[in-house]
Each structure stands twice: as C-alpha cells, then as structure tokens.
Amino acid sequence: MGILFGTDGIRGKANHYPMTCEIALNTGKAVGAFVKDNGYTSVIIGKDTRISGDMLEAALSSGVASTGIDVLLAGIIPTPGIAFLCTNVQEAGAGIVISASHNPFYDNGIKIFKHNGTKLSDEEEHKIETSILSNDFVPQDNIGKISILPDGLGKYAKFLFSKFSFEKANKKLKLVIDCSNGAASKISHMIFHPHLFEASFLYDSPNGTNINEACGSQYTDQLRRDVVTEKQTSASRLMETQID
C-alpha cells in the first residue's frame, strides 16, 4: 500500500483528505497521462449513488480532460460494469469507479481499472500515486471532451445476460433482491424483470444518503425475513392448488 492507495484504491470520508476535489483532480490528471502514455484516447468514469459522487466525478473529469484525454461518463453503475466497459470500448485506456462499496454514504473512494478491465499493478499504482502527490503536470494545448457514454448500463446488462442461461429456465426463479440503495438499484430491475423472474426488490430507492443504511451486505435481517415469508407463501399457494 502507498500513501494514498490502500488495498482497493483511494478511500476516505468525502470532502476530507484524501477524498478531496484537489486529490480527485490530480488523480484525473495522472490517469489521463497514464492513458496517453499507453496510446489510448479516453477514460470511462462511473459511480454509485452517494451524494458526493457528482462532486468527485466533476473533479476527476476535469483532471482527465486537462490532459487532452476524452471522458466518457457511464453514470450510476456497479463497479464490475466499469471493468466490463473498459474491455468493450476500444478507445478506453482506463476506467475509474467512484465508490466506497459497503461503507456509509459519507465515505467515498476512487478505484482504477486498466483497458483490459483488470486492476493496476503495484508499479502502475505507484507511478500514478507519485504523479498525484507531485502535482507537476505539464500544461497541455489539447483539451479532452466530456460526454455521456451511450447506454453503458444497457451494454453491461446485455453482457450479463450473455453469461447466464436465464431464458432457458423451465420456470421463473423466485428471488428477493436487496439493492442496498446503491448502484445495483436500477440494473437489478433490468436484469431480473418479470418476463423471466418472480422478483421482489428491497432498498432500491437511492437518495444520495441512504446507501447501505440498515441494508446491504452488513444488514441482512430484512432480506432473510422476506425470503422466509416468500417461501412460506409459495408453500401455501402450492397446497391450495393441490387441494383444488
């Protein structure tokens, strides 16, 4: 681990060191330089639903664009979705995810993927960290564009469908899904739609400050209760059918 980078990128309380706009700006510059050195022309940026995501996205995007590299904004998308998009968009030399996983809303983080969807090597991470901290970036005449990546979430959903034989199931799978009020809130409905699944959704209404609030991987009580309830309901329906 380095000064900024921990075991999974840069992480901390949003708007406090190291998760400040200044560090995010320099991180964008360092990633932009990294991408340019490797012969690519754009960086994909995605985020979860934390209120600080927009702020850090703006700083990262500005940093990348100042190096002459284009920014493709994927919006709210699960972390693996950015790794996938890095392999799907030819010109993308890196992907950045703004997320602090299961941490409370007031935290945030910056994770970086390479063009092939893998994480940085220790050497690459050290080089980027050194650039961030030195802040000795050379001004560029070229300025990159910042634009929306068309249907990034849809592309990721299509990829997931291609990897699982959902449509081959003999009957609809019954599921209870806890979205943690996070980045999976929208795509869960895209994947587990009524045509193929009998799914009920918990905590799928993010508002910027309720991500992981008494829900998600650290709070499974409601999920467990709903699974038991749904199972009991299904058993009752089956019994009624057999009696009829």
User: Exposed, middle or buried by CB within 10 Å (0-12, 13-18, 19+), for 240?
Assistant: exposed
Q: Which two tokens stand for residue 28?
A: 């964008």
Instruction: Name the phi and psi angles at 171, rounded to 5.
Output: -145, 160
Question: Which pairing describes strands 92-98 and 107-114: parallel, antiparallel, or unpaired?
Answer: antiparallel
| Pick from 93, 104, 85, 15: nearest CA to 56 | 15
Q: Which residues contact 177 (CB under 8 A, 6 or more apart)?
A: 188, 192, 199, 200, 201, 202, 204
- State whether residue 95 is helix, strand or coil: strand
Active-site hit among 42, 61, 66, 101: 101
Instruction: Report whether 27 contacts 132 (CB < 8 A).
Output: yes
CA–CA separation, 2 and 37 (whole Å):
22
Token duo for residue 161: 């469908």
Between CA 141 and CA 152, with CA 45 as vertex, the angle to 5 degrees is 120
The torsion of the CA quartet 191, 192, 197, 203, rounded to 10 degrees, works out to 180
Q: Catalytic residue at 188?
A: no
Q: Active-site positions? A: 101
